[in-house]
Each structure stands twice: as structure tokens, then as C-alpha cells.
Structure 1
């Protein structure tokens, strides 16, 4: 059974600890995304040495790539990833309802770029690559239909065996009309009831989080927070789209966290930009997950105390990524020019070292956030990071 204890609270901001029978994490914390139960640039036998205590795996991709039978054979996701004492979450497949549906058609993510009025005007709520009904969602995978429903998603996540699992939902597009988002939100609430029913008997070993939707609309977000917050679940996810400007995220999250029960953890799904993390922590968010640390590492982007650095512009520097960094790349003195040479040669060490560095950066930042809350210096830390991010 998962337990959550708040350790220090200042207004909405808090630190806490989540414990289960095999692991614990301090909050706020960000999960490293291991889509297929592994990181693309690192073998699973090194995951135990990473500074990150929290990981999240993708139900849709482990399902369609037939990885779940391998996870079961290994004895569950902790054994499969060779991290028996780490905290692991699994998503429900709800994000793929968006990314492989409306997202695939528009190329738009959860937050709209500026000057997006023309995209809104041209968007058609009836044109979706996925077929969504009250009962289920039908995807197309390799030319064949693949089905997810609340019951199927719960069954798959039970087989994965993560500490936290998410109720099946639809993540809507920021291009969708308010009418569409409202109907989708209400269906997500009904899917939550079905997810809770399908989860019965597994409550002791896996914590099911209900997911709040409602897009960028205050009335819908508050309604969803009231409905989902009233359910007998041990925690909550905050999903969906967040409007058409970056600063909207903190405001939108604030509508939700003001209503959700404060004694239960809140996980902001798929968000991990530095400014967004600080904005959400300020509104009482405890958990995050994002592909940024690993995906951008593979694309030669480095996160440092000096800001986000593109390796191409630093390829002639014969110096390590960052002083006083505990990652393997910096400890071993791997230089910028050396990394660039490895990338050009398609040497696997390049993405491995940049991934190790970015993961260390995010782990250090989350630790600093927790320490700043404990010491009453969160705003100072936010200002420091805000100068370069």
C-alpha cells in the first residue's frame, strides 16, 4: 500500500515522501521516461547507478511492441529494468490517444505555439486518426487495429507491475473545441470509474491515480478536479493540454491543485521544462515526468547551470561539460570536442555520456528544489534558474 507523508509545507509548496513496500521517493521529484522499460542510450544494468529514484514506462508502446510478455517473464518491471529498489510508474496509453490521433494530424503538442489562431480555425474535431467511442479507443499499428479501453489498460498495467499506474483517459489537443474537451472530460470521468472497478484486488501492490482533464478552461478544470478528487484513489495525475502560452500552465495547474485533496500526491503528466517545473511546484505539484533530459541529450543538447547548451556551438572547447558535476562524463573529464567527435562518428558513447549528464542535472535540480523548500528559499532558487532558463 502506498503512503504519502507531507514533510514541510509553505503555502501550496511542499516536500514529502512516498513509500511502498519496496521503495520510496522524496517529493517534488521528476521521473525519467523509460518508454519501453529501458533508456535508448543506456543499458538496463547501469540504471541502478543513476541518481534518479523515479522512472515511468509507456503502456501503449510496451503493449504494441510486445514487450509486456518479456516484463512478465522477468518478474515485473522492477526486475526487467534491474532496479528493484526504485520507484516506477506506468502511464495508461491516454497520451497516445492524443499524440497518435489529433497530435499526429496537426504536429502540435500539449502547449500551443504562439500565433496559432489559424491552426484553431482550420482544426476539425471530427478528423482523428484514432477511433474513440464510449467503450474503447482503436489505434492503427502496422496497418492493423490495436484496442485500448479502461479494462485493457488496467490489465496491461497490472502485468507491468509498476508502483503507480494511471487510469485510462483521453489527453485532448489544445486545438480541440471547448465542446469536444467537455465531452471528452466527462468520458474520462466515466473511464475512471471503470478503471477503479478493473483495479479491484490490486490496490495493495499498485496505486491507481485518477487523471484530471479539462484543457485550458477554468470551469472544466475545476469540475474535473472536483469529480476526480472525490474518488477513492491514492493520488492524481494532471493531464491534457495547457493553452496557447507558456505562462498559462501555472495558472491552469493552480485551478486544479486548489481543489484536489492536499494529503494525496499530484503528478503533472508529460511536463518537464525548467520554468514549468518551478511554476507547477509553486502550485503544489509533487511529481513530474518528461522526455526532455534523455531526448535532448540524444539531440546534442546539454543542461547546465549556465543554461541549455547546444553542443554544435561548443564543439571546439577542450573542457568538460560542467565543473562540480557528479555525472560520469564530467567526472571522467570528457570534453565538448570529444563528445562532438563521437557524435559525428556515431559512437554510442556520445549519447550515453550526454544522457548521463542531463539526468544528473535534473536529479540535482530536483534535490535543490526540495532543499530550498525546506529552508524557505524556493523563490530565490526559482529566480536563479529563471535567469538562464
Structure 2
């Protein structure tokens, strides 16, 4: 096992944990949200802009990078860190989710998946060995094992068969992983929303042994309540001394609920995708900047935000950019949304350290429910004082 890849728990509040993940490419404070840089770029953002939000780790994707520009080309050019100007930690998704979503363009067997590129129809093959090798060529700080992620709802027997195949693939992914100082590989817990299958999956993965453990197969149509109840029975079974990563999640309330159930790491396209479609996330929920009511609104998006969109521009200007289809609109709003997500995670971490997570949770949810600030409203403190 790598001697320098380690997660250290520093504070707890209920099931929530605040810690630091130490890697070859630097430390990451947890809980953390990872911006999604699927094809070697966080859409509409420079990496300096991503850094300015406070992000400590970003995500890349095996499927997209193997197709374009190709893992060997990235390796030849110095690895993904240099290629995309991100010297910090990078986690790469194995490509399994993207391949499974191709539907008729892919053929699954017990050893892996053969599929057609969504770009040009060319034929490719991914299996545990190939996925792990590609992630090694990219120089991923955190490699994900190759798995299948079935859509929900599905019959329990189908979920069980898929999970057990993913566990076999996890063992093969581990065999293919090349141990390096400060690098790690995560196993992925599957099993749908079936508690017994989740428990079986956790045991299989911990028997193999990984540097961290992810929870896959959620946020795929099951709804928040069922996702949370699945986390309630899954995270207590996972190793206490290893990082836990909930894949593809989600809304601000999803992140908060995940942290309260013992999750340390998250990723989702939601804040960047929303930024490209005029949806802004704030401490008072989300707003649609295409709405005509913002045409004369001279206020910043959020009184708490220090991003470029909020410190230099008004809601009215952002409204204008989207109505005029100017590319600067998606750029500024993506920046703002990522800044909000990072600020949200910093506030949650601070509340865990202070032992005030319950009060902070009530405050966050009350603010989200209150709706946008009125023009004469004085914003309240971002984090409520310790009682």
C-alpha cells in the first residue's frame, strides 16, 4: 500500500467527518466537491479560474480521453496534470458509466465491454486491465476500478448479477493497478438500493483492499429519499480510515445529506451544466437568469460570493449576456456556481470542526427554502454563531 496516500480524520460531528486526503499531488481537505473536467477541461473555465474557487481536486474521464486525444498522446505530452494545467490531484472515472450509457452502441460480456465511439462510430474495447492502464497513462492520482452501473429501477436479480460481475472486475482492476508513492485506487460499491447487496459489495471490496471506496449506482433515477436511505445502510459498513466518495452527486442538499451520512468526496456536472443554461446557485436556492425580472437588477448574484461574476457584474448584466447568447454568460455563471459549491463545502467542513453541523444544516435548509433575497433585505451571517 502507498505510504503517503492516506486520509486522516480530524473531526467528526455525528456521522459527518472532516479530514485531509494526502496524495502525491498535494493535500485535499474533506469533505470536498470535485469539479468535473471530463475531457481534460472544466467546461467554460480556465484552470486558474477553477483554482480561484478553492477547488482542491478535479475529475477526468477515461472514456472521453481515450477517444480524444488518446491516453498515449496525453502521456507523451507529460500526463494529464501538465496537459490540462492542473498540478493538483486528479481522479479519473473508469469509463464504465459512460460506456454503459451508450445503449445499442455497446456489447457487454463477462470480461468487459465492446463499444462504438459516439464521435465517429469506431470500435473500441474496455475491460478492467485496459481501463486501469489508461488511467495509469494519464497519471491519475486516484484511479477508479472498472465497473458496471445499471440504471434504476431494475429487478433485484439483475442488480445482484451486475454487482457480482463488478466485484470480479474490481479484483482484476486491483491486479492491474501499479502501486506508486502517493497514488491510490478506489473500489466502487454497487448493489442498487438493496441493503443486502450493498453489504455484500462492501465486504467483497474490503477483502480485496483499496486506498479508498466509492459508492456507485446512485443518483440514477431512484430519488433523494431512497438514495439517502441506501447511504444510511452502506456508509456504516465502509472502512472508517479510508475516504468515501459518492459518485455523480449532486444538488447542494444532496451534498449536505451525503456529508451527514459519512461521505467525504463528491462530483457532479450539475454546477457547470447549470452555469451554461442560466441557472445560478446561491445561499437562497437557485435562480434562472433568463427571467425578465433580472433585467434591471443591479445586485450581485450573492452578497457572500467573491467570484468574478459577483464582484464585477450585476444580475442585469448576466441576464443580458444570456439573452444575447454571449459566451461570457456561461463562463461567468459556471465560475459562480463552482465558487458557491466550494463555499458550501467549506462552510459544512467548518461546522463539523466546530461541532455545529446540526445548527448549520437547519440554517442552510431554511435559507434555501426562503427564496431569493428581496431588494431591501440585509443578508444574515453565512454561518450561524456557535450556541
Give the TM-score normalised by structure 1.
0.88
User: Counterpart in 1 of 2:160?
Assistant: 182
**What secondary structure sits across from 1:171 in the alignment?**
coil
What's the counterpart of residue 28 of structure 1? 31
Match of 2:198 among 210, 216, 221: 221
The residue correspondences of 1:124-139 to structure 2 (distance < 5 A) are: 129-139=105-115
Per-residue deviation, 1:70: 4.1
> Matches of 2:79 and 2:272 in 1, distance apart?
23
Cα displacement string for residues 145-175 of structure 1 (whole angstroms, at most 9, x for unaligned residues): 2211001100110011121110000011103
Matches of 2:310 and 2:47, distance apart in 1: 21
* Cα distance between partner residues in 1 of 2:40 and 2:244: 23
Instruction: Tell me, in whole angstroms, the C-alpha distance in 2 between the residues paired with 1:288 and 1:363.
Output: 11
CA shift, 1:335, in A, is: 1.3
SS at match of 1:82: coil
Q: CA deviation at 1:295?
A: 0.6
Match of 1:293 in 2: 271
Equivalent in the alignment of 1:108: none
Distance 2:53 2:84 in 1: 12
Deviation at 1:10, TM superposition (A): 2.8
Question: Which segment drifts farther, 136-145 or 184-193?
Answer: 136-145
Structure 2 Cα separation of the partners of residues 274 and 43 of structure 1: 23
Contact in 2 for aligned 1:47/1:83 (Cα 8 Å): no
Tell me, what secondary structure is at the counterpart of 2:267? strand
- Kept in 1, the 8 Å contact 2:132–2:145? The answer is yes
Aligned partner of 1:364 in structure 2 is 343
The equivalent residue for 1:111 is none
Distance in structure 1 (CA, Å) of the matches to 2:227 and 2:176: 32
* Aligned with 1:383 (options 347, 362, 386): 362
User: C-alpha distance in 1, partners of 2:216/2:154?
Assistant: 15
Unaligned runs of 5+ in 1: 102-127
Q: CA 1:294 to 1:3, structure 2 compared with 1: closer, same or farther past 3 Å?
A: same
Conservation of the 8 A alpha-carbon contact between 2:12 and 2:18: yes
In structure 1, which of residues 15, 21, 40 is the aligned counterpart of residue 18 of structure 2?
15
Decide which moves more: 175-184 or 235-244.
Answer: 235-244
After superposition, the CA RMSD in angstroms is: 1.7
> CA deviation digits over 1:79-110, x for unaligned, max 9?
122121x2210010121133223xxxxxxxxx
Q: Secondary structure at the match of 2:86?
A: coil
* 3-state SS in 2 of match to 1:384: helix
For 1:373 and 1:249, the matched residues in 2 are separated by 22
Q: CA deviation at 1:315?
A: 3.0
How far apart, CA to CA, are the structure 2 residues paired with 1:47 and 1:255? 34
Q: Deviations over 1:12-32 (max 9, x none)?
A: 211110112331111100100
What displacement does 1:380 show? 1.6
In 1, distance between residues paired with 2:77 and 2:334? 26
Match of 1:319 among 299, 318, 322: 299
What aligned pairs does 1:1-389 form with structure 2 within 5 A after superposition? 1-44=4-47, 46-84=49-87, 86-101=88-103, 129-141=105-117, 142-199=120-177, 201-241=178-218, 244-313=222-291, 314-316=293-295, 317-332=297-312, 334-387=313-366, 388=368
* 8 Å CA contact retained: 1:269, 1:288: yes
Q: Contact 1:161 / 1:206 at 8 angstroms: preserved in 2? A: no
Q: Aligned-pair distance for 1:269? A: 0.5
Offset from partner CA, 1:247-285 (integer Å, 9 cap, x none)? 111110122111111101010000121221111111111
Residues 105-134 of structure 1 deviation map (CA, whole Å, 9 limit, x = unaligned): xxxxxxxxxxxxxxxxxxxxxxx5421101
For the 8 Å contact 1:74–1:80, the answer to whether it is kept is: yes
Give 2:374's aligned residue: none
Q: Quick check: 1:249–1:276 contact (8 Å CA) kept in 2?
A: no
Q: Which secondary structure state, in structure 2, belongs to the residue aligned with residue 16 of structure 1? A: strand
Q: Distance in 2 between matches of 1:330 and 1:241?
A: 33
The 2-side partners of 1:70 and 1:320 are apart by 43
Q: Select between 370-379 and 8-17 the one with higher mean Cα deviation.
A: 8-17
For 1:309 and 1:46, the matched residues in 2 are separated by 22
Distance in 2 between the 1:252 and 1:167 partners?
A: 21
Name the CA distance, whole Å, in 2 between partners of 1:165 and 1:19.
15
- Match of 1:355, SS? helix
Note closer, same or farther for the CA distance 1:360–1:48 as it changes in structure 2 (3 Å cut). Answer: closer
Q: Tell whether the 8 Å contact from 1:5 to 1:263 is kept in structure 2 after alignment.
A: yes
| SS across alignment from 1:214 | coil
Query: 1:353 aligns to what SS in structure 2?
Result: helix
